[in-house]
């Protein structure tokens, strides 16, 4: 099955179902990362970037897209922020209840708005201001009232969406004159060599089961990205972005039934407030 056939199949899926498929498929990656909690996060992130590097390189060559770009600095920053977001998110998933780590990851749209205010002086709508307030209130509930929360895991969970927010704003600038595959390629191209020495230093021997989980991470994230890209290409973002947040109840189910995660009342409350913030933010058409 060639790449064109794969793309035509994705394009035939209605956008709302494509986004739902993206959420469900991508959610498996969190489970696989948690299954690999005995491995260093650097090692998992490095292998993930290698998978992405091979996939995007193959896709670019098949389409005969030029690798040359005039936006080298922005592409480097996109790759750097993407790599930092990846490693901090993986570490958070390993150290926190799955639902908590995934909920924090979805603060990225809120950080995107906040960073846009600082970088390009965008004025947020009233709904976006409310979403910012609710999002950080939820963070306060989770960390301020739950003494059992893993401190380093919490910090990584908070920094992951921050780096994602910076990356999203860079992508917004790049997408005006760069091919999407080149933007995608910049992430593993920069992140892989930066992660390599840390992965080498902390490297642990892999079992056959570990390799299957790592393969599952690569496939689930790549498929999720393809479903999501197709959905956004065929529908306005504000009409489908809210479907992303189904990942939060899905992660609660996975965390409870697969890993026996026990959430405190403060964490439940914080997740609920953050979920409300995401819905409020998604209801604003101003991106």
Q: Is residue 6 part of a domain?
A: no
**Per-residue confidence (pLDDT) for residue 131, from 0 to 100:** 77
Residue 8 belongs to a domain: no
In a domain, 1, yes or no: no
> What's the distance, CA 60 to chain centroid?
22
Position 33 in a domain: yes
The whole-number pLDDT of residue 122 equals 63
User: Looking at the predicted structure, is the pLDDT value of residue 286 above 50?
Assistant: no
Residue 283 structure tokens: 């209801």
* Residue 5 included in any domain: no
| Rounded-to-10 torsion of CA 122, 139, 284, 182 | 60
Top-confidence residue, 230 or 238:
230
The answer to the question of residue 195 being in a domain is yes
Domain count, the chain: 1
- State the Cα–Cα distance between residues 108 and 156, nearest whole angstrom: 13
Separation of alpha carbons 65 and 71, rounded Å:
15
With a CB cutoff of 8 Å and minimum separation 6, the contacts of 243 are 16, 19, 20, 23
Q: Checking phi first, is residue 121 left (phi over 0); if not, alpha (psi -120 to 50) or beta?
A: left
Average pLDDT score over residue span 68-86: 89
Position 272 pLDDT exceeds 70: yes
Domain hosting residue 41, numbered range: 13-282
**Domain-located, residue 232:** yes
Name which residue leads in pLDDT, 129 or 1: 129
pLDDT digits (tens, 9 = 90+) for 134-177: 877 887 777 666 666 788 998 999 899 899 888 888 887 887 78
* Helices and strands (H, E) in the chain, number of each type: 13, 0
pLDDT tens-digit readout, 6-46:
444 656 778 888 888 888 998 999 999 999 999 999 999 99
Confidence bin at 194 (pLDDT 50/70/90): very high
Task: Let me know if residue 4 belongs to a domain.
Answer: no
């Amino acid at each position: 099955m060639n790449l064109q056939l794969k793309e035509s199949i994705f394009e035939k899926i209605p956008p709302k179902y494509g986004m739902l498929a993206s959420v469900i498929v991508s959610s498996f990656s969190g489970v696989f990362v948690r299954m690999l909690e005995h491995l260093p996060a650097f090692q998992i992130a490095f292998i993930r970037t290698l998978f992405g590097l091979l996939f995007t390189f193959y896709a670019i060559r098949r389409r005969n897209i030029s690798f040359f770009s005039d936006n080298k600095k922005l592409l480097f920053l996109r790759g750097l922020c993407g790599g930092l977001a990846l490693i901090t998110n993986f570490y958070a998933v390993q150290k926190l209840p799955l639902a908590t780590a995934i909920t924090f990851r979805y603060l990225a749209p809120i950080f995107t708005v906040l960073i846009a205010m600082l970088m390009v002086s965008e004025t947020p709508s009233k709904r976006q201001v409310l979403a910012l307030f609710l999002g950080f209130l939820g963070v306060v509930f989770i960390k301020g009232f739950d003494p059992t929360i893993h401190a380093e895991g919490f910090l990584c969970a908070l920094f992951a969406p921050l780096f994602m927010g910076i990356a999203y704003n860079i992508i917004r600038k790049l997408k005006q004159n760069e091919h999407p595959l080149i933007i995608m390629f910049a992430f593993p191209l920069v992140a892989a060599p930066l992660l390599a020495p840390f992965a080498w230093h902390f490297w642990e021997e892999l079992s056959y089961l570990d390799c299957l989980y790592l393969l599952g991470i690569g496939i689930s994230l790549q498929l999720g990205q393809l479903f999501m890209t197709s959905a956004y290409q065929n529908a306005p973002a504000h009409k489908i972005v809210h479907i992303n947040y189904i990942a939060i109840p899905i992660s609660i189910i996975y965390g409870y039934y697969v890993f026996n995660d026990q959430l405190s009342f403060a964490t439940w409350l914080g997740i609920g407030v953050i979920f409300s913030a995401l819905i409020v933010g998604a209801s604003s058409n101003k991106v």
